Structure 1
Amino acid sequence: MDVIQVDNVTCAYGRNVVLKDINLTVTEGEILTILGGSGCGKSTLLKHMIGLETPRKGHVLIKGENLTRATGDERRRILSQFGVAYQSGALFGSMSVLENVMLPLQSYTHLTPDAQELVARLKLRQVGLEQFADYLPSALSGGMQKRAAIARALALDPAILFLDEPSAGLDPITSAELDALIIRLARVLGLTFVVVTHELASIFAIADRAIMLDKKNKGIIAEGTPADLRDHHPDERVTRFFRRGAV
């Protein structure tokens, strides 16, 4: 079952067309990675998929519902079906980790404060941070901040999680631990992931399928498993991306 459909989407800022006529589907339970060089439009595509930006043309559907056209309560309902963890974590520094995770519950539910706290603590437990609920984000390591952001993204029990460069700035060990968390959440909870990344180790660790964007083509130039793209794709830009650093 397709849970995300990107239907003939063009992304543009003024006269600058970043991506043109993008068609993409993501199936239930899949971990899809979005790849490409700097400036190719990875984050732009993600912003359009989560409704932060409106396509110049085309539509984004979440579980069959048109996010692009939705307004008001309908839009809020569609937005509540997925969670987002940004590259920086985007945690509020003046609030505890627990308070950060409670924010979506305060905005999208009618739960009592006690119930909100209970749910938030359960989400922190899922990412291994239950003992750090009362800490400020500044007291956490970079990897722990990423985990806290994922816990907040899980607060509303979404079926889909969008992650923007989750391994950015992390050492290899911490990055591998985060990859293991993503795989566990996908397999145990049945979540669908869309992950923007350029980290080869993470791509091969987590991705069921990858798409590669290209700045010059303004679109998708490759799609498949990471191994197939590395070993069998005819486009030199694709194989060069996957084999960079090889000796």
Structure 2
Amino acid sequence: MMVNLFSVFDPSTSIMNLSLNWLSTIMGILMIPMSFWMIPSRYLLLWNKILDKLHQEFKTLLGFKMINKGSSFIFISLFTFIMFNNFLGLFPYIFTSTSHLSMTLSLALPLWLSFMMFGWINNTQHMFTHLVPQGTPPVLMPFMVCIETISNMIRPGTLAVRLAANMIAGHLLLTLLGNTGPAMTTIMLTLLLITQILLLILESAVAIIQSYVFAILSTLYSSEVN
């Protein structure tokens, strides 16, 4: 009777001969909040270093008028969001949202519209001076106003197309090269694998660069309305 009573403590739950009872030992660690660990991890230190560097970069571009309101954090969040989506698209069978204009335009257009509305409502005279560059001859002023207006209007489109086109180009190249693999010899297949790895490294760099370019250009556009 006593043997049967203590048998409830025997490890009995298993899948494919692997005992799952000992998983209860590490469940407590999963419930401990991250704030419990007083010393931050190397990953957290690296991420904080990157965010601080981006904050310093955007602070220089925005100027001291806007930085007091915490405007740099908007562009840091934008950079992080785009970079995260770009990297996710490099994994197989994961939808690349940043390769579609509906996604990139939904990021660029509201930003540009908000900058324009803020600038024309609060700094109307300053916005008019931006339409005519300094030192323009009086004869060329009407033409410069038209050129500056068109270049201002196409800004959200160029932001969206640049990001989407770079994502599409790299993914298409990787897909086209990958589809030729089954018909190749062993030597050519080895060269193809090396090429694919190098292209994947290049695409990882492009994912970071394009998110940085998008955030930097948005910052420059916002700095012009003050």
Q: TM-score range by the shorter chain?
A: under 0.3
Greater strand fraction, Structure 1 or Structure 2:
1
- Structure ID, larger Rg: 2
Q: What TM-score do you get using the length of structure 1 for normalisation?
A: 0.23
Q: What TM-score do you get using the length of structure 2 for normalisation?
A: 0.25
Greater helix fraction, Structure 1 or Structure 2:
2
